[in-house]
Amino acid sequence: MSINLNLKFANKQQEFFTTLNQRVNLYFKTNNIERTGNAEMVIKTIAMFSIYFIPYFVLISGVVSNSWGMLGLCVIMGFGLAGIGLSIMHDANHGSYSNKPWVNSLLGLSLNLVGGHDTNWKVQHNVLHHTYTNVHEVDEDISPRGIIRMAPGSKWKPIHKFQHYYAWFFYGFMTLVWVIQKDFDRLITYQKEGLLKKQRTSATKEWTIMVITKIVYYTYIVAVPMLLIGVSFGQVVIGFFVMHYIGGFILAMIFQPAHVVEGTDYPMADEHGNLENNWAIHQLRTTTNFGHRAKFFSWYVGGLNYQVEHHLFPNICHVHYREIAKIVEQTTKEFGLPYKTKETFREAVVAHAKQLKILSEKPKPAMATVTSVAA
């Protein structure tokens, strides 16, 4: 299936984003701070790598020989895996971790270090998701193939009637699918679509990097434990599964309630490829915040509970979102635009569950042209 990147945003109501940009720029200038990371990011980076690698080194040291103890270490690594994805590689691959490109590139490879591939992620997330948020068959985050239907434009199957019950179980397979299969499939697709060239890279380079880093990953995560502490292949598989299941579930539970929630919009282009709103307003209508009062939660999830701010300013490090959120909310109110937010993470999860239920229902023929699912 070809990915249509020729969609055009409307060239109207530009004053909102112009004004917002001016105010956000003034905030950084007035406070004499960089838009990128700071000491807090350095501390967080050390913390997230520690949550992942300290249990790993304890595991391969043989200090813990009890099977349940080793499994517990894999559980902790799962939290570290998600933490690295949410708080380190995410900002780095957006170019917002540091004002030094080489630092962003190096820390962006932290995704490869935990089994993924950074270029695939940049294309799917930075290009497709951040540009065409919630546009069916362009934003791959809401156009999964298989048993979960996340957009009104997706083909309905009888099994979808039960997705609001079973989706939660399958969310845990998110990173497993990426590291085992999806990275290979996506690289082939992006090569065919010419998306690698747009990233100023080549297929040869990306295949080389991906194969080498996959070998490194599977060597330290599978082979090393078997060689050093004599665990069986079956035990390694169980630990590998548990770690990725926990990490994948956490990642899914942060990203899904930001866009697939009751009341969100699913914009569709007209026959000429025109979208209704300009890019910034498009982001406001397809993105939802949640849980702003929970400071530790916000710290762990890399500020991604401030999804509105992240989508409007992906080149700003997440450590600044709490402050610029005040500017964004005030400016949206002045322009009469939506600022979608849920008070708590629990409310966001409930709203996601309701949307899964709405999308589980077989579309009525008369509703085939509906472009959004209202609350």
The predicted-structure confidence for 27-61, as pLDDT tens digits, reads as follows 999 999 999 999 999 999 999 999 999 999 999 99
Q: Residue 303 falls within a domain, yes or no?
A: yes
Number of compact structural domains in the chain: 1
In three-state secondary structure terms, 290 is strand
Side chain identity, residue 17: F
In the chain, the percentage of residues whose pLDDT exceeds 90 is 91
Residue 375 lies in a domain: no
Q: Is residue 6 part of a domain?
A: no
Decide if 78 is inside a domain: yes
For residue 229, is it within any domain? yes
For residue 372, list its beta bridge partners. 265
The pLDDT score that the predictor gives to residue 271 is: 87
Distance CA 185, CA 181 (A): 7
Nearest to 352 by CA among 297, 344, 132: 344
| Residue at 34: amino acid letter | E
What is the residue range of 151's domain? 15-362
- What 3-state class would DSSP assign to 335? coil
Which residues of the chain fall short of a pLDDT of 50?
367-375
Predicted pLDDT at 2: 65
What is the pTM assigned to this prediction?
0.92
CB proximity list for 251: less than 8 A, separation 6 or greater: 82, 85, 86, 174, 175
Whether residue 194 is contained in a domain is answered as yes
Write down the pLDDT at residue 365: 75
Q: What pLDDT does residue 372 have?
A: 45
Q: Rounded distance, CA 160 to CA 174, Å? A: 18
Q: Is the Cα dihedral 123, 124, 128, 131 positive or negative?
A: negative
b/e 257-274 (16+ beta carbons within 10 angstroms → b): bbbbbbbbbbbbbeeeee
Q: Residue 108 falls within a domain, yes or no? A: yes
Q: Has residue 2 been placed in a domain?
A: no
Strands (E), the chain: 289-290, 341-342
